[in-house]
């Protein structure tokens, strides 16, 4: 039998059928239950295939807890016309304009807006792709600035669709960032870029590391608090519904 096996089913949470994804992992010592509010899924880990029925019962026994975790405010939502989206912390209204030759552009004539050309069914992908390019442009600028200040050379910059980490730095100096940082106020993106660049010197979170972050001129404490309180909402944007 393979070390990992996945079973998919559904359970009723409130009035809604909710996906329950059960993964078998022999290294697991007990049943583990998690909720992904963005995807609207329940994730269970079982130590063996024989424990799958027990995992389903385990989820049923914790319906109230699951319902509390599946907050509607954290449910994933695709970009649609009329939606208000934060761009560098400023809310813009998405306008669908099939007659436009431009895939996506900023329109500030009447109100801050993101005007999207092409057919409406492609709007979520077009806006997501455009925001990823904007995130790469901004993060590349800040990484270049901070790495020069530190006298270090960084590796490749990756823009990812991560939902658990805002950024990371590998041992070879490659930097990865969540594209949803472009939705946050500029000083938040700046902090994450500075944080990962500081890892080019210290691959830890020692006092020397935090001194380096502060020397780059960012508000680490304030930004970290903002990400804790407001960050989860950013992960909901641009998530295609199933």
Q: Does 60 reside within a domain? A: yes
pLDDT tens digits for range 48-57: 988 899 999 9
Copy the structure tokens of residue 141.
């600028």
Residue that terminates a domain, selected from 74, 98, 131: 74
230 and 136 in a common domain: yes
Cβ neighbours of 242 (radius 10 Å): 8
Residues 68 and 130 in one domain: no
Are residues 98 and 117 in contact, defined by beta-carbon separation less than 8 angstroms?
Answer: yes
In a shared domain, residues 70 and 135? no
pLDDT in tens, the chain (242 residues): 344 588 999 888 887 888 899 999 888 888 999 888 777 789 999 999 888 999 999 999 988 888 877 776 677 889 999 999 999 999 999 999 998 878 899 988 778 999 999 888 899 999 999 999 999 999 999 999 999 999 999 999 999 998 778 999 999 999 999 999 999 999 999 999 999 999 999 999 999 999 999 999 999 999 999 999 999 889 989 987 55
Q: How far is residue 177's CA from residue 196's CA, in Å, rounded to a whole number?
A: 9
Hunting for tokens 């552009």 — which residue is that? Answer: 105
Count of structural domains within the chain: 2
Residue 86 lies in a domain: no
Please indicate, yes or no, whether residues 204 and 137 belong to a single structural domain of this protein: yes
Closest C-alpha among 58, 13, 17, 20 to residue 36 = 20
Rounded-to-integer distance, Cα 2 and Cα 21, Å: 17
CATH code, domain carrying 205: 3.30.2010.10
> Considering Cα of 113, then 118, then 120, then 126, what sign does the dihedral take?
negative
Q: 200 and 134 in one domain?
A: yes
Containing domain of residue 129, as a range?
A: 123-234
Q: Which residue has the tokens 């946050």?
A: 184
Residue 194 CA to residue 154 CA, distance in Å, equals 12
Within this chain, do residues 57 and 141 fall inside the same structural domain, yes or no?
A: no
> Does residue 83 fall inside a structural domain?
no
57, 74, 91 - which closes a domain: 74
Residues 135 and 230 in one domain: yes
80 inside domain = no
| DSSP percent split of the chain into helix, strand, coil, nearest 5 | 40, 25, 35
Q: What distance in Å separates the CA atoms of residue 94 and residue 116, rounded to the nearest whole number?
A: 7
Q: Any idea of the CA torsion for 197, 203, 208, 209, to the nearest 10 degrees?
A: 40
Query: How far apart (Å, rounded) are the C-alpha atoms in residues 194 and 220?
Result: 9
Classify residue 100: in a domain, yes or no: no
pLDDT of residue 1: 39
Q: Is residue 214 part of a domain?
A: yes
Query: Can you tell me the distance from the alpha carbon of 126 to that of 83, in angstroms, rounded to the nearest whole number?
Result: 14
- pTM here is 0.77
Q: Which two tokens stand for residue 158?
A: 């990756």
**219 and 129: one domain?**
yes
DSSP string, 53-101: HHHHHHHHTTHHHHHHHS-GGGS-B---TT-EEEETTEEEEEEEETT-S
In this predicted structure, what is the pLDDT of residue 111? 85
Question: 3-class SS at 38?
Answer: coil
CA 139 to each of CA 102, 136, 236: distance values in angstroms, whole numbers, following the listed order? 24, 5, 21
129 and 43 in a common domain: no
Is 185 among the domain residues? yes
Residue 90 lies in a domain: no
Residues 221 and 133 in one domain: yes
Tell me how far apart the alpha carbons of residues 8 and 75 are, in angstroms, rounded to a whole number: 20
Looking at residue 2, its pLDDT comes to: 44
């Amino acid at each position: 039998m393979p070390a990992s096996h996945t079973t998919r089913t559904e359970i009723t949470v409130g009035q809604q059928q909710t996906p329950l994804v059960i993964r078998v992992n022999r290294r697991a010592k007990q049943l583990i239950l998690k909720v992904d509010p963005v995807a609207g899924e329940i994730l269970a880990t079982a130590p063996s295939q024989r424990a799958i029925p027990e995992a389903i019962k385990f989820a049923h026994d914790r319906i109230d807890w699951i319902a509390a975790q599946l907050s509607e405010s954290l449910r994933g939502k695709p970009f649609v016309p009329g939606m208000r989206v934060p761009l560098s912390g400023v809310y813009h209204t998405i306008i669908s304009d099939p007659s436009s030759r431009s895939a996506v552009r900023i329109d500030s004539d009447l109100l801050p807006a993101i005007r999207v050309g092409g057919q409406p069914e492609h709007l979520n992908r077009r806006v997501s792709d455009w925001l990823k390019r904007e995130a790469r442009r901004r993060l590349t600028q800040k990484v270049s600035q901070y790495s020069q200040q530190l006298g270090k050379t960084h590796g490749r910059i990756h823009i990812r669709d991560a939902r658990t980490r805002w950024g990371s730095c590998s041992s070879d100096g490659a930097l990865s960032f969540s594209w949803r940082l472009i939705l946050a106020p500029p000083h938040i993106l700046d902090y994450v870029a500075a944080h990962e660049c500081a890892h080019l010197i210290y691959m830890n979170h020692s006092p020397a590391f935090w001194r380096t972050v502060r020397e780059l001129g960012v508000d680490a404490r304030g930004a970290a608090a903002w990400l804790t309180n407001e960050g989860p909402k950013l992960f909901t944007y641009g998530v295609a519904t199933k």
